[in-house]
Amino acid sequence: MPPKSTNQRSAPPVNSSSESVPDIEKVIKDWIWQRVIEKIGQRQAIIGLVLLFLCGMIWKFYEPVDTLISKSETIISEHQPLPRANPNVFTVALVPLDNDQNGPNGKPEMESDIVDALRPVQGIAILKFNRPSISDDDVELWSSKRAPALLDIRGRCRSG
């Protein structure tokens, strides 16, 4: 039998159904995971991944969670009594103001201006309350129903 000519090229091997092309992404992930486990151990690697995941979730949902915490603090503080002011010091109480826009420092602008103006004045204490502002309807309702109960017949405030 004559030998085949050398100028013919052989066909590339055909992949059988049992062989598949390795997924490069999976290979890289597995390699990185093995190196991490070798360095710090499997338990610490899993804890690190969980912490990384939690940090990512905090980053993504920080604003809604911050709002939820702020509102829950407001609801809780509404049901607690207000702290007593020192009777020897003139005290100014601040609650969130309606339509107060956040300034460049992230705090409400008018409230910050009031606090900044009063802070250097000697003899004035500032109490800030995280409570919702009182609407005009609430003021009228309170003054017509609750205020008379606090006054005695002669118009003086009851001590209590």
Q: Which two tokens stand for residue 15?
A: 């992949």
CA distances to 82, 135, 140, 153 from 150, rounded to whole Å, are 18, 21, 15, 10
Over the Cα atoms of the chain, what is R_g? 35
Distance CA 127, CA 85 (A): 8
Distance CA 125, CA 21 (A): 74
Q: Does 14 score more than 70 pLDDT? A: no
Distance CA 127, CA 93 (A): 5
Q: Does 121 score more than 80 pLDDT? A: yes
- Contact present, 44 and 37 (Cβ < 8 Å): no
Hunting for tokens 């911050």 — which residue is that?
66
* Segment 44-77, tens digit of pLDDT: 989 999 999 999 988 888 888 788 887 777 677 6
**Domain chopping of the chain, boundaries:** 24-78, 90-150
State the pLDDT at residue 47: 92
Q: Which long-range contacts (CB under 8 A, 24 or more apart) does 117-123 make?
A: 118/92, 123/89, 123/90
* Segment 35-45, tens digit of pLDDT: 888 999 989 98
Q: Which two tokens stand for residue 44?
A: 């610490």
Q: Does 154 score more than 50 pLDDT? A: no
